[in-house]
Structure 1
Amino acid sequence: MEFSPSLLRGTLIKRYKRFLADVELEDGTVVTAHCPNTGAMTGCAQPGYTVYLSESNNPKRKLKYTWELAQTFDGHFIGINTHNANKLVAEALDNKVLDEFSDITDWKAEVTPPTANSRFDFALTRQDDGHQKLMEYMEVKSVTLAEQDKGFFPDAVTQRGAKHCLELARLAESGIKTSLLFCVQHTGIQSVRVAEHIDPTYANSVKVAASAGVSIFAASCAIDEQKILLNQALPLIL
């Protein structure tokens, strides 16, 4: 996923009220940008970080700028915009990046299975050896919380995330293939774990999902000043 037009570089002054961030651009102008991330953003929003903003010319928008990327003091890039995770996964599905999903023939976004109460990020279509179409449902989570080179999800309590895991488990137990993909938008993360110390309920729901047969994966992204690409699988430790 390449950013077009090019992102604007600046320095983070502060993030506040969850959805707002004040940024000083390279020309000295101070702007307020939309922060498209509802999480705690631990380690992602340190004042002084180099940040990158997209700019919108839509006159109906309240805020002209959106915070897309941050760069830590030791040079690692972080994808701030959680909405980009699904775009990255969609692009990876189209380009057959991950071996686990290389046989996907089609996908649809934001689908509620006929027997479910939750809407999932993707409905995937595979073909088996007999050329029969098989439907699979996948949920995507964006990972940015890093402790040294270890990534953790979630960074805050997520009742919705736990609900999705249990629903995936229920579908898996009924014979429907389901998967959970942790999309890591932090170049310093080398492996992924469930953050039991932050949300034990979510951690338990992931264990329930795994026991029920939900396939759980983690994948990392290559990130620089103007693009993000989901590029390879990462070790997942449950």
Structure 2
Amino acid sequence: MKMNKNIISAKFLRRPNRFQAYVEVNGEEIMVHVPNTGRCREILVPGIEVLLRAEPNPARKTPYDLIAGYKGDMLINIDSHIPNKVVEEALTLRRIERLKKYNIIFREKVFGTSRFDFKLLMEPYEDIRYPQEYFLEVKGVTYEVNGITKFPDAPTVRGARHLRELVEVKKSGRGAGVLFLIQLDGAVSFSPHDEMDPFFGESLRYARDNGVDIFAYSCIVEKDSITLDKEVPVIL
């Protein structure tokens, strides 16, 4: 997925709250928006190089979004709006092996009282080994230590609820899955971050035990693009 807006480099200074950060651009300190409510503490370290995406909207208080940061030589995308766009592109191109038979893609669809990121359909219905209708939830992953990636990096009651609601989708006879999009390259495994949010880990294992599919994919991340790459082993 290409990013059409202007991308520039900056030096990260500090993050006083979840939504704002201060960076240095050409010797000038400016405030930017952070499109990620997670902590990202292992990424947003004072002095590191970050990437900013220009957002030329006169109604905004900040001229840029902080979308990525370098952790050593590794570039990690932290934009929480990106995962659904990357996954939608991959679904359209049939790059997710276990979901490639689904040829109709809907965004933000409701099942019962829940809203999921994607609803997929197989039309015409030609392979009875798969349910005709499939609901998919996407979670963006930015936490990494020595190639081991985990989610979440902050407690998420909403995330755990999504997993338990996917079990209800599965019980209805439909397909259900959660895809963890790892917003970096070089991941060797994915696991729930039990130390950060034990209930989320419990909910993920409950979903697994009740037939919900669990996917994890790494990405190729460049300054002006991010693309779904390889499936990564899930260790529960």
- Relative to the length of structure 2, the TM-score reads 0.94
Name 1:125's counterpart in structure 2.
121
Secondary structure in 1 matching 2:170: helix
Aligned length: 234
Name 2:141's counterpart in structure 1.
143
Secondary structure in 2 matching 1:112: strand
Distance in 2, matches of 1:16 and 1:137, equals 37
Greater Cα offset, 196-205 or 120-129: 120-129
Change (3 A) 1:213 1:51: same
Name 2:179's counterpart in structure 1.
181
What does 1:59-138 align with in structure 2 at a 5 Å threshold? Answer: 59-72=58-71, 74-113=72-111, 116-126=112-122, 127-129=125-127, 134-138=132-136
What does 1:142-181 align with in structure 2 at a 5 Å threshold? Answer: 142-181=140-179
Give the AA of the match of 1:178: A
| Post-superposition CA distance 1:19-50 (Å, at most 9, x none) | 1111112x222221100111111312111111
Secondary structure in 2 matching 1:198: coil
Identical aligned residues as a percent:
33
| Post-superposition CA distance 1:152-192 (Å, at most 9, x none) | 01111110011111000122122121000000002242210
CA contact (8 A) 2:150 2:191 kept: yes
Secondary structure in 1 matching 2:121: strand
Distance in 2, matches of 1:76 and 1:164, equals 30
Give the AA of the match of 1:119: R
CA contact (8 A) 2:131 2:173 kept: no
RMSD: 1.7
Give the AA of the match of 2:22: D
Stretches of structure 1 lacking an aligned partner (at least 5 in a row): none
Stretches of structure 2 lacking an aligned partner (at least 5 in a row): none
- Runs of 4+, deviation exceeding 3 Å: none
- Relative to the length of structure 1, the TM-score reads 0.93
Distance in 2, matches of 1:148 and 1:16, equals 28
CA contact (8 A) 1:8 1:53 kept: yes
